[in-house]
Amino acid sequence: MGEEKMSVLAGLRPERVFYYFEELCRIPHGSGNTKEVSDYLVQFARDHELSWYQDASNNVIIRRPASKGCELAPTVILQGHCDMVCEKKPGSSHDFTKDGLELHIDGDEIYARDTTLGGDDGIAVAYMLAVLESDDLQLPAIEALITTDEEIGLLGAAALNGNELKGRTLLNMDSEEEGILTVSCAGGMTAMMDLPVRRSEVMGEQMEVTISGLAGGHSGTEIHKNRANSNILAGRFLYELAGKMDYALIELEGGLKDNAIPRTTRMLLAIDGGEKEILKEEASRFTENLRREYSGTDDGITVTVEKTGEGAAPALHPVSLQKTVFFLMNLPNGVQKMSGQIPGLVETSLNLGILKLEPDHLHACASVRSSVGSAKEALSDKLEYLIGFLGGEFHVEGAYPAWEYKEDSALRDLMVAEYEAMYGQKPAVEAIHAGLECGLFYEKLSGLDCVSFGPNMKAIHTTEERLSISSVERTYQYLCRVLEQLSKRQA
């Protein structure tokens, strides 16, 4: 047995919520790597003598019977996902496949050193485990549904067999702002595009151009905040540079997740040694222009140039380079349309999250979102037409439906009333542009009534992610109040 690690979160309240959150942070649980955390949840169910279900996608359902006297209340589904976005700072040696997170406390906030925290959505799982083991709450029958691979296209929820669930009241805890009840969300898809390229040997000095310092963020909740996309900027830089000097493109890479606005894109160029100063001047000019264009929203954009070598290298054939730049200059990106019904709501958007120049093709991966199905399909068609026109291939992964607004929602009414009773003010009731698994559950479970909520988090999907300790406590108290009210209802 290895030495037991010291707890960082011991003493925080609610004690059991933070105990389980820290336990989860010790287990690697990035998207696509969820077997260990899924098995941990099954072992929890066994240890607490609760029935459970685990499927081939590592989704887990843990069932707790109703408290005495609450047997007639309708079953309630508590839901969140156990996978996290894995981002780390440049130079970090953290290995998300085997290392736990290094937690720290800063005032009222928890963060992880040099990495994402996974508060999205580890705190939901911690809430569920604390509720499932509690002896102090009056509860209806609970189905705790923990899904997987939400961050890479809601894949776990899409694979889930809805027949395993009896409940038709669902509390989704995958929102990041206390005081907001989410009641509708956009549908989406991941657009995969591959453009064949040819290479030829070139000679010259090899210069690495890096676009960095961007704010980034979540491509659903922050796509409207006028933040730059480093992949799109790379295409613009290459286009503008072609008017100033000759160059060949050897490497191009930016972004790690389709649903995260990319913060860094790197290009490796081959140039004539006598034109180094022109390249540096263009990088400086580009930086100055971008900081002016994104003043107030992305002031830290920086374009740097560094020599990495010289000699022969396989670079893009001029025709392939032209197609690559054309693709990046004409690819739609960002907000495409605002909602005409709900003020301030993004209806349709696109985020080019991943860009990678492979030896024989350019790979691009984009997150497409819309609360209107036909608009989502139209944007997908536009991408397919663009890449097809250039001789490339297109396919869709992880498509999921929108979660439509429910005019009459007993759950929403109850949660508004309980929020007002606890906080002394009404919560905001909103639709969001980000994708939630509720859309898939709404499609699978006839008659479903669901609401999404959660504690305050900042900068999710980035290494600056923070989770508010006091908000976690208040939100847990709110969850318990709602569950106790639901336990009094009659089926």
What are the catalytic residues? 83, 150
Short-list 120, 156, 119, 126, CA closest to 35: 156
Number of residues that make up the chain: 491
- Annotate 230-284 with DSSP letters as a single string: HHHHHHHHHHHHHTT---EEEEEEE-S-TTEE---EEEEEEE-GGGHHHHHHHHH
Opening angle at CA 434, ends 98 and 342, nearest 5: 165
- Annotate 285-296 with DSSP letters as a single string: HHHHHHHHHTTT
Helices and strands in the chain, H and E counts: 11, 23
Q: Cβ distance 273 to 299 under 8 Å? A: no
The enclosing H or E element of 427 equals none
The 3-state DSSP class for residue 389 equals helix
- Annotate 91-132 with DSSP letters as a single string: T----TTTPPP-EEEETTEEEETTB---HHHHHHHHHHHHHH
The 3-state DSSP class for residue 475 equals helix
Q: Could you identify the residue written with the tokens 């160059």? A: 247
The 3-state DSSP class for residue 315 equals strand
Distances (CA, A) of 4 to 17, 26, 35, 100, 130: 19, 11, 22, 13, 22
The enclosing H or E element of 455 equals none
Residue 142 makes CB contacts below 8 A (sequence gap 6+) with 63, 64, 75, 76, 77, 78, 131, 132, 483
